[in-house]
């Protein structure tokens, strides 16, 4: 019915147009009264006429000649014997014929309906417009607020092969798939499948994708809704939507009910500076009741996802509701390799692209980040009019995802360029000379985002636990840029603000969280804080002012000792610092291989590597260079630096 109402304005306009055309087509017809008909001249030439005789009047329709013009006429004549005789004589005087019709055959009801149709169309049109403006039918829409906004997919195409990098997480949900496929096996054994599964983890790790894969593998309907879809401005809307959602899902059981970002509605009740939100808490209460009131093994499995499990209400995570908690972490190098393989299925990669190397260059990347890297690489390949995605495109894509696009149009002054070159070279030297420091992959002085330069450093190997020496090495590496400025120019700039922020956080955590100081293995700060007041709002309230002073002293001692060590390393390797800085000033970007060659040979290329020279057409000749020492002493580095300066 609603579909046809949408076409009502068009039908109304068409009816009006047809009526106007019909009216214009009868424009030559003359409607006379009885007196006018009597006054027509005696010699009027009447042609064929039709008479419809009723009990009181005679309806006469026909044509007559008025000179060369034919006129259509109609007239009502009183029904008397005299008028009947007069009409027969008058209309047949010039050979005209009279046709008498029975009034019962005219379809009185059809005629009446024809007169009513225009009024009915006008009435329906105004009713349609009234309901659109929220009038008479607007009251019905009030009931739609209580309806669930959950979207359903009956035929989910996602499978486990589309989800990579989380093998352990897949194992945790296999029982749910088996239960949805054949629940009788579990009921016969007396087993109760978890009613709810809570997936937690950083953004972009594939929690939603994994939930869809569960529905796809089990071949059951997949209901999905966001936590923010429950709460509206109307009181009681969220609770009624929860009831309707479970009622609708029960009709399609077995099925998966997925609630994304459940922290929007599942926050701890009664928390915060201003108290709780009554409407949100009512919605949460109804959700708790529905999950607790669900019958065992009724076929509905609730899967929820969040990246803030610390704010959830404890009642939501108790047994009987969200029984199983699955942590979806950032992928390791093996997982990143598998994720890249999934997203590279439809990508045209060049032969020089190896997903293994790409996975090693992207530690800390989530599945969404890796998909974005490949997509950005494909966009860059199209922009450069290439036939395949090269490794250079993917290197640039990694930089764009981490720091933003390069601002090549931004030009440094010569003094600022030297400052940035030495700053980034300082980070690179510490990365080369400190054993536990992160490995330098790429150094550039081309501005990206808000950074004047960019130093890509990755861990030498991925670890789950970090030692104190590794934290010390990280702080020393972060101080490399600022210390290089101090050593070379005798002053410091504001370019190290992000480095200082990061190293301060590491030093504070070493003292207050990890117990890596002389204060002992005591935690002086809640690593989560009060999430409703701000993470740092209430930190420090659980220790005295004297302890706070000791914490500040320990943090300062750690940073000062790292600064002293950083200055010692850069002073001892001043020639290498100058060499890297000069090459950065000249070439603007250096790779890991080029930096290593500068440290070993004093130049960007390896002199021991065979050089391929093209001679005739496609033939190639390999010329072996004379061997040189594998390492260079300080004298050789100074010599190479002098030659570079002369150029």
Other beta carbons within 10 angstroms of residue 138's beta carbon come to 12
45: annotated binding-site residue?
no
331: annotated binding-site residue?
no
Residue 164: Cβ-neighbour burial (10 angstroms; 0-12, 13-18, 19+): buried
Instruction: Write the DSSP symbol of residue 437.
Output: S
Extended strands (E) in 398-540: 439-444, 454-458
Q: Worst-scoring range by mean pLDDT, 216-225, 489-498, 504-513, 525-534? A: 525-534
Q: Quote the Cα angle for 81-87-92, to 5°.
A: 135
Helix (H, G, I), strand (E, B) or coil at 451: strand
Instruction: Record the tokens describing residue 564, joined without a space.
Output: 């002293």
Distance (Å, whole) CA 304 – CA 453: 41
Max mean pLDDT range (73-87, 411-425, 603-617): 411-425
Is residue 542 scored above 80 in pLDDT?
Answer: no
Residue-level pLDDT at 535 = 45
206: annotated binding-site residue?
yes
Residue-level pLDDT at 285 = 83
Instruction: Record the tokens describing residue 267, joined without a space.
Output: 């926050």
Residue whose tokens read 């109804």: 286
Residue-level pLDDT at 530 = 45
Average pLDDT over residues 58-65: 81
Helix (H) or strand (E) holding 199: strand 196-200
Is residue 537 scored above 60 in pLDDT?
Answer: no
Residue-level pLDDT at 476 = 92
Check if 414 is active-site: no
Residue-level pLDDT at 567 = 93
Cα-Cα-Cα-Cα torsion 232, 235, 239, 245, nearest 10 degrees, comes to -50
* Residue that wins the pLDDT comparison between 571 and 58: 571
204: annotated binding-site residue?
yes
Distance (Å, whole) CA 218 – CA 399: 39
Is residue 234 scored above 70 in pLDDT?
Answer: no
Is residue 557 scored above 90 in pLDDT?
Answer: yes
Domains and CATH numbers, the chain: 2-127 (no CATH), 151-327 (3.40.50.300), 333-403 (1.10.8.60), 414-587 (1.20.58.760), 592-636 (no CATH)
Is residue 107 scored above 80 in pLDDT?
Answer: no
Residue-level pLDDT at 66 = 73
244: annotated binding-site residue?
no
Residue-level pLDDT at 616 = 42
What are residue 74's phi and psi, to 5 degrees?
-150, 145
Average pLDDT over residues 619-641: 47
Average pLDDT taken over every residue of the chain: 77
* Residue that wins the pLDDT comparison between 478 and 267: 478
Average pLDDT over residues 616-643: 47
Other beta carbons within 10 angstroms of residue 325's beta carbon come to 14
582: annotated binding-site residue?
no
466: annotated binding-site residue?
no
pTM of the model: 0.65
- pLDDT tens digit string along 334-390? 888 999 998 898 888 988 888 888 888 888 888 889 999 999 999 999 998 989 999
78: annotated binding-site residue?
no
* Residue that wins the pLDDT comparison between 185 and 107: 185
Is residue 401 scored above 80 in pLDDT?
Answer: yes
Residue-level pLDDT at 20 = 56
The answer to whether residues 118 and 22 touch, using CB atoms and an 8 Å cutoff, is: no
* CA distance readout (Å), 265 to 256, 261, 276, 311, 466: 19, 8, 12, 10, 36
Out of 424, 485, 486, 554, the active site residue is 424
* CA distance readout (Å), 67 to 40, 46, 71, 292, 603: 13, 12, 10, 96, 115
423: annotated binding-site residue?
yes
Is residue 465 scored above 90 in pLDDT?
Answer: no
pLDDT band at 559 (very low <50, low <70, confident <90, very high): very high
Is residue 628 scored above 60 in pLDDT?
Answer: no
- pLDDT tens digit string along 476-514? 999 999 999 999 988 888 888 888 999 999 999 999 988
Residue-level pLDDT at 565 = 93
pLDDT band at 130 (very low <50, low <70, confident <90, very high): low
């Amino acid at each position: 019915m609603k579909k046809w109402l949408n076409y009502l304005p068009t039908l109304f306009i068409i009816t009006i147009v047809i009526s106007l055309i019909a009216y214009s087509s009868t424009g030559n017809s003359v409607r006379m009264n009885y007196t006018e008909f009597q006054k027509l001249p005696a010699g009027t030439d009447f042609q064929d006429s039709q008479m419809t005789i009723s009990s009181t009047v005679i309806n006469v329709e026909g044509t007559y000649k008025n000179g060369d013009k034919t006129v259509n006429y109609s007239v009502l004549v009183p029904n008397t014997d005299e008028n009947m005789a007069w009409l027969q004589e008058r209309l047949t005087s010039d050979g005209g014929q009279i046709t008498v019709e029975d009034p019962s055959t005219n379809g009185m009801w059809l005629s009446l309906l024809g007169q009513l149709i225009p009024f009915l169309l006008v009435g329906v049109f105004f009713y349609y417009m009234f309901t659109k403006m929220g009038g008479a039918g607007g009251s019905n829409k009030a009931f739609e607020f209580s309806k669930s906004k959950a979207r359903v997919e009956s035929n989910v195409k996602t499978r486990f092969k589309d989800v990579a990098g989380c093998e352990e997480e897949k194992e945790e949900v296999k029982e749910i798939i088996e239960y949805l496929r054949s629940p009788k096996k579990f009921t016969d054994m007396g087993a109760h499948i978890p009613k709810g599964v809570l997936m937690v983890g950083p953004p972009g790790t594939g929690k939603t994708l994994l939930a869809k894969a569960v529905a796809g593998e089990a071949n059951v309907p997949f209901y999905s809704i966001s936590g923010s879809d429950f709460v509206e401005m109307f009181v009681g809307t969220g609770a009624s939507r929860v009831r309707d959602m479970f009622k609708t899902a029960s009709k399609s059981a077995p099925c998966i009910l997925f609630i994304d970002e459940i922290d929007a509605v599942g926050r701890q009740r009664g928390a915060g500076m201003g108290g709780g939100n009554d409407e949100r808490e009512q919605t949460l209460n109804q959700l708790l009741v529905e999950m607790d009131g669900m019958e065992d093994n009724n076929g509905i499995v609730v899967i929820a996802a969040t990246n803030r499990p610390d704010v959830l209400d404890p009642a939501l995570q108790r047994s009987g509701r969200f029984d199983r908690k699955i942590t979806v972490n950032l992928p390791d190098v093996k997982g990143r390799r598998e994720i890249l393989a999934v997203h590279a299925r439809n990508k045209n990669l060049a032969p020089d692209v190896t997903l293994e190397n790409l996975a090693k260059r992207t530690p800390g990347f989530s599945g969404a980040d890796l998909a974005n890297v490949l997509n950005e690489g494909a966009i860059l390949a199209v922009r450069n009019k290439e036939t395949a995605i090269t490794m250079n495109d993917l290197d640039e894509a990694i930089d764009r995802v981490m720091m933003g696009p390069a601002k090549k149009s931004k030009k440094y002054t010569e003094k600022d360029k030297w400052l940035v070159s030495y700053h980034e070279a300082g980070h690179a030297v510490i990365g080369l000379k400190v054993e536990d420091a992160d490995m330098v992959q790429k150094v550039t002085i081309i501005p990206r985002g808000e950074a004047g330069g960019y130093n890509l450093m990755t861990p030498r190997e991925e670890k789950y636990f970090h030692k104190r020496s590794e934290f010390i090495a990280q702080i020393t590496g972060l101080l490399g840029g600022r210390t290089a400025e101090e050593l070379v120019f005798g002053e410091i700039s504001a370019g190290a603000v992000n480095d200082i922020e990061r190293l301060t956080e590491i030093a504070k955590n070493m003292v207050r969280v990890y117990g890596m100081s002389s204060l002992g293995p005591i935690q002086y700060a809640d690593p989560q804080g009060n999430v409703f007041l701000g993470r740092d709002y209430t930190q420090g309230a659980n220790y005295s002012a004297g302890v706070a002073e000791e914490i500040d002293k320990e943090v300062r001692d750690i940073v000062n000792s790292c600064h002293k060590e950083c200055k010692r390393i850069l002073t001892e390797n001043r020639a290498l610092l100058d060499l890297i800085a000069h090459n950065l000033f000249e070439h603007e970007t250096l790779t890991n291989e080029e930096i290593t060659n500068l440290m070993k040979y004093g130049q960007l290329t390896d002199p021991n590597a065979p050089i391929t020279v093209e001679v005739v057409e496609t033939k190639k000749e390999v010329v072996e260079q004379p061997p040189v020492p594998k390492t260079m002493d300080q004298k050789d580095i100074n010599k190479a630096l002098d030659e570079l300066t002369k150029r």
